[in-house]
Amino acid sequence: MGINLQLLEQTLGSLSGGQRAKVLLAKLLLNEDDFLLLDEPTNFLDIEQINWLAKFLQNYPSAFLLVSHDRNFINTTCNIIFDIDNYMITRYVGNFESFLEQKSLHHRQYESAYSNRKKLIEKLETYISKNAARASTAKSAESRRKQLSKINFLEKQQIQSPPKFYFKYYKTTSSIAVQAKNLEIGYHKPRLFNNLCIFVLQSY
């Protein structure tokens, strides 16, 4: 997990946010719980640590629920995907790449079934409206009506548009957005950067 052993002598409150996240994640993995809920566990992890976590979860004996924006990480760790689409939750078995293929196939099959079902319904309704009033064809029209009543109607698939967010903001009287002097970056000496000066102006 990239946790320096020197940190064991420090209190959790003295660590940075990223270091605390790693310690808490390591503690969670060592608990050997029956079920894990992991929300963006790759935050603050580098590539090597993400790969280690993926291998750990691949061999985890119990169940875990993973929420992540990292598609590659999901693809290497998960074998069941729950997809929310068209106001329904669909369960897919397989990794993320398999899920994308299955979902695409599911959409095509549903669209084909919807189109065929719609044509059949229109055909039956047309036949009934033309033949229900005739004595010679009334029985066949009634038979079509019974057939129509047993058909399971399908809703047309809705194309979900991505959500849009709008945040109100107010212009400040100052033209300076960020200003810092003698800034240091790093937790141990030597620092990653020393004596940085940052001066950012707002653009209107």
- Domain residue extents for the chain: 5-78, 98-149, 170-204
- Determine the CATH number of domain 5-78: 3.40.50.300
pLDDT tier at 201 (50, 70, 90 boundaries)?
Answer: confident
Closest residue by Cα to residue 41 from 15, 70, 81, 14: 70
Task: Say if residue 94's pLDDT is above 70.
Answer: yes
pLDDT at 165: 82
> pTM for the complete prediction?
0.58
How far lies 139's CA from each of 6, 13, 142, 175, in Å? 88, 82, 5, 83
pLDDT at 101: 94
